[in-house]
């Protein structure tokens, strides 16, 4: 593994553009407020120490920010955000949360630093965590109602078994130890043990088992699959239930959210692959971070994040790609544009996907070589070298396979799609084995060669497919090098049969990826196909080869000499 100082240098070298949003910091050419000197020091320290271009935005109100956010966030890797942007408002951090949400949904920003004079780091992290954990479908009043119903049901169940415990006893035990549960994952197991011991100390061993059997089904009915899920929900509910003015996130879809520990002390958050942490501003004689030291401290904190290898690799690749794209843009590597345009217009596919992929390949072929030429291999080897390699969980290996090989339709920008090699569909009604009625065909994958997909009239719109069914994840991971599997997420794998068949899709080879396609398969019954996504062609080619090799086999029956079954005689 690289030394901490080497990691910090890599990170510092990769953050080239940042923006600071603060109601007390002046923009260039703007009359400086009382602490305008801080903004000036911050600006020059980023440029001189970090070789990083820093924009400063003087915040007035959310409406003005919305007009400016497109240019403020464009191509920025880092956001420095003041926590109390509206000091005169009822909720001083409401606008900060709204801006934070915008930044997290932005494609460019990877790191967000809350730079604040607020006294409690943990309170800030709690506020951010609860804001993104809950959504508009579960506001404060709904959470209170949910908890009230839950405790009443638990109270009734405890009364039925004549338990000495009450729901108040359970809540008292949870409240006593729950603090820090959500933002300190390394303390969760200890907190769970303390809560359990506190509860079980009040009842005998016989009743302990009865209480466990009683509680879990009730929690399950309220949407908690584990005690850990309930404890997390409860702490965030309890820390915000008395808020007079609630701030509700508008987005209804959940965002991937994880707590990171920096040096096992300071909590940080990873939300939608954006790292968020808090720095304290120096104020008077306190021990906060001065504007001059902000860039250095940010790089130091990022470098101490546990399991940061993929982050460092992506930052290094991004730096190389940005540099080489700029160079290639100056004439696209010396290619003649007439030849480029001439060949681009030879693609006559209906959706222009082929033309688009050709143009992109002109760039990616050059970029791939430049990345290979410019990677620092000794550092890369050192980064991934590990003395004691831990075996990952199946779901993590499956997620890596899916990331490398598969593009979900949810990540596709164009809803109109022309069928191509590697497209995977799920049957609305699986085809069952005649003998044991277990699923025989649940999925199909297009194995038609790319050139025929592009011009399907050459094959009379008869597209080649092979069929597959759900596989046990552990089996798929064990046999992925020898058999034909596809991984579509971290918990689903498909095993392909390599049995060749065709479908005539003259009227539906161009389709909306969100619509179902009517078909009749080999069971002769009407069915529908749901588009799942595309397995990248280089990985689909293996399935194509295996299927067509199987289809082209020829059996022979010739006279042969049978081997005698000889027994050794002692």
Q: Mean pLDDT for each 10-residue chunk of the chain (570 residues)? A: 78 89 84 74 90 92 91 92 85 90 90 86 86 75 90 91 88 92 89 92 83 89 91 87 67 76 74 90 76 91 78 77 62 65 69 66 71 73 74 92 94 90 96 86 95 91 96 94 94 94 95 96 93 94 89 62 53
Helix axes 167-177, 227-240, angle to 10 degrees: 80
Determine the pLDDT at residue 272: 87
Q: Are 444 and 468 within 8 A, CB to CB?
A: yes
For the record, the structure tokens of 438 come out as 């277990």
Q: How many C-beta atoms surround the C-beta of residue 434 within 10 A?
A: 8
Q: Quote the longest CA-to-CA distance of the chain.
A: 106
- Nearest of 49, 212, 244, 221 to residue 41 by alpha carbon: 49
8 Rama sector, left if φ>0, alpha if ψ -120 to 50, beta otherwise: alpha
Pairing of strands 439-446, 423-432: antiparallel
Cα Rg, the chain, nearest whole Å: 30
Integer Cα distance of 24 and 160 in angstroms: 61
Coil, strand or helix: which one is 185?
A: helix
Residue bearing tokens 């011991």:
197
User: Who contacts 201 (Cβ-Cβ below 8 Å, separation ≥6)?
Assistant: none
CB-based contact 485:476 (threshold 8 Å)? yes
* Residue 141: CB atoms within 10 Å: 10
Cβ contacts of 516 within 8 Å, gap of 6 or more:
428, 528, 529, 530
Residues 275, 112: contact at Cβ < 8 Å?
yes
Joined tokens for residue 274: 């954006």
Listed by start position, the domains of the chain span: 4-137+251-306, 140-240, 311-390, 397-551
Count CB-CB contacts under 10 A for residue 15.
23
Contacts 24+ apart (CB under 8 A), 307-312: 308/7, 309/383, 309/384, 311/275, 312/2, 312/7, 312/10, 312/11, 312/383
Rounded Cα distance, 146 and 166, in Å: 18
Q: What's the pLDDT score for residue 570? A: 45
Alpha carbons 354 and 153: distance in angstroms, whole number:
59
Alpha-carbon distances of 450 from 455, 513, 529, rounded to whole Å: 9, 19, 21
The domain made up of 4-137+251-306 is a member of CATH 3.40.920.10: no
Q: Write down the pTM of the prediction.
A: 0.74
Q: In the numeric block, which tokens belong to residue 83?
A: 């926590």
Q: Of the candidates 51, 40, 97, 44, which has an alpha carbon nearest to the alpha carbon of residue 77?
A: 51
């Amino acid at each position: 593994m690289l030394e901490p100082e080497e990691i910090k240098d890599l990170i510092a070298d990769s953050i080239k553009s940042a923006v600071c949003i603060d109601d007390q910091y002046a923009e260039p050419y703007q009359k400086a407020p009382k602490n305008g000197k801080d903004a000036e020091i911050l600006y020059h320290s980023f440029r001189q120490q970090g070789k990083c271009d820093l924009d400063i935005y003087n915040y007035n109100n959310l409406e003005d920010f919305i007009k400016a956010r497109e240019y403020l966030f464009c191509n920025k890797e880092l956001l420095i955000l003041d926590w109390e942007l509206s000091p005169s408002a009822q909720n001083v951090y409401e606008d900060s949360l709204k801006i934070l949400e915008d930044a997290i949904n932005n494609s460019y920003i990877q790191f967000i630093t809350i730079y604040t004079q607020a006294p409690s780091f943990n309170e800030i992290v709690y506020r951010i965590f609860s804001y993104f954990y809950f959504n508009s479908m579960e506001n404060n009043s709904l959470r209170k109602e949910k908890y009230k119903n839950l405790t009443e049901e638990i109270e009734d169940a405890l009364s039925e078994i004549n338990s000495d415990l009450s729901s108040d006893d359970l809540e008292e035990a949870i409240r006593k130890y729950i603090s820090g549960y959500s933002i300190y994952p390394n303390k969760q197991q200890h907190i769970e043990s303390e809560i359990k011991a506190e509860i079980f100390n009040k009842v005998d061993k016989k009743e302990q088992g009865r209480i466990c059997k009683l509680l879990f089904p009730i929690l399950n009915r309220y949407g908690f699959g584990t005690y850990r899920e309930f404890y997390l929900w409860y702490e965030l509910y309890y820390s915000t239930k008395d808020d007079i003015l609630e701030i509700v996130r508008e987005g209804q879809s959940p965002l991937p959210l994880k707590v990171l520990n920096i040096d096992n002390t300071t909590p940080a958050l990873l939300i939608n692959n954006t790292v968020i942490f808090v720095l304290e501003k120096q104020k008077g004689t306190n021990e906060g971070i001065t504007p001059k030291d902000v860039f250095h401290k940010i790089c130091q904190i990022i470098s101490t994040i546990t399991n940061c290898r993929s982050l460092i690799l992506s930052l290094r690749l991004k730096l190389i790609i940005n540099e080489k794209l700029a160079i290639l843009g100056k004439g696209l590597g010396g290619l003649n544009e007439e030849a480029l345009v001439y060949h681009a217009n030879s693609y006559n596919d209906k959706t222009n996907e082929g033309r688009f992929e050709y143009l992109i390949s002109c760039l990616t072929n050059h970029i791939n070589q430049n990345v290979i030429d410019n990677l620092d291999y000794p550092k890369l080897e050192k980064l991934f070298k590990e003395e004691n390699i831990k075996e990952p969980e199946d779901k993590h290996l499956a997620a890596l396979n899916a990331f490398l090989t598969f593009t979900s339709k949810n990540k596709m920008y164009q809803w109109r799609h022309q069928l191509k090699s590697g497209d995977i569909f799920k049957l609305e009604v699986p085809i069952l084995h005649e003998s044991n009625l277990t699923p025989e065909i649940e999925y199909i994958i297009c194995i038609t060669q790319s050139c025929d997909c592009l011009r399907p009239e050459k094959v009379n719109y008869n597209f080649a497919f092979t069929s597959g069914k759900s596989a046990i994840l552990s089996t798929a991971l064990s046999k992925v090098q020898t058999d034909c599997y596809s991984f579509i997420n971290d918990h689903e794998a498909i095993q392909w049969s390599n049995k060749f068949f065709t479908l005539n899709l003259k009227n539906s080879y161009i389709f909306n990826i969100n619509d179902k396609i009517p078909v009749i398969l080999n069971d002769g019954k009407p069915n529908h196909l749901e588009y799942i996504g595309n397995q990248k062609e280089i990985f689909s080619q293996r399935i194509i080869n295996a299927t067509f090799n199987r289809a082209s086999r020829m059996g022979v029956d010739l006279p042969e000499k049978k081997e005698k079954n000889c027994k050794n005689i002692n």
